[in-house]
Copies of this chain bind each other. A is one copy, B any other.
Amino acid sequence: MGRIVVEVMPKPEILDPQGKAVAGALPRLGLDGFVAVRQGKRFELEVEGDVDDAALERARRAAEMLLSNPVIEDVVRVAAADDVRSA
């Protein structure tokens, strides 16, 4: 069973109040040096079988049709997950 990661971010020209709230909170926690924050979404799609080109194409269509709103968001990544579950 494979896994595909889809990442969606607000378009640069779109206001991002969640990101702004985070950016405002960081200095209050003593974390300086950050000038801006933007918040988007990350999806993990488990697919039947391996992650092949057909599965990636279905994931790209899912990203455009369902996982993002193309008026205000960009799909910034659709890729097989290399099990990067480590900070």
Which residues of A line the B interface, CB within 8 A? 1, 7-9, 19, 22, 25-26, 29, 31-49, 55, 58, 60-63, 65-67, 74-78, 84-87
Contacts and interface: CB of A to CB of B under 8 A. Distances in A.
A76 B86 contact: yes
B43 A41 contact: no
Nearest to A34: B45
A33 B7 contact: no
B31 A61 contact: yes
B62 A87 contact: no
A36 to B, nearest CB: 4
A51 to B, nearest CB: 11
Contact of A87 (B36, B39, B60): B60
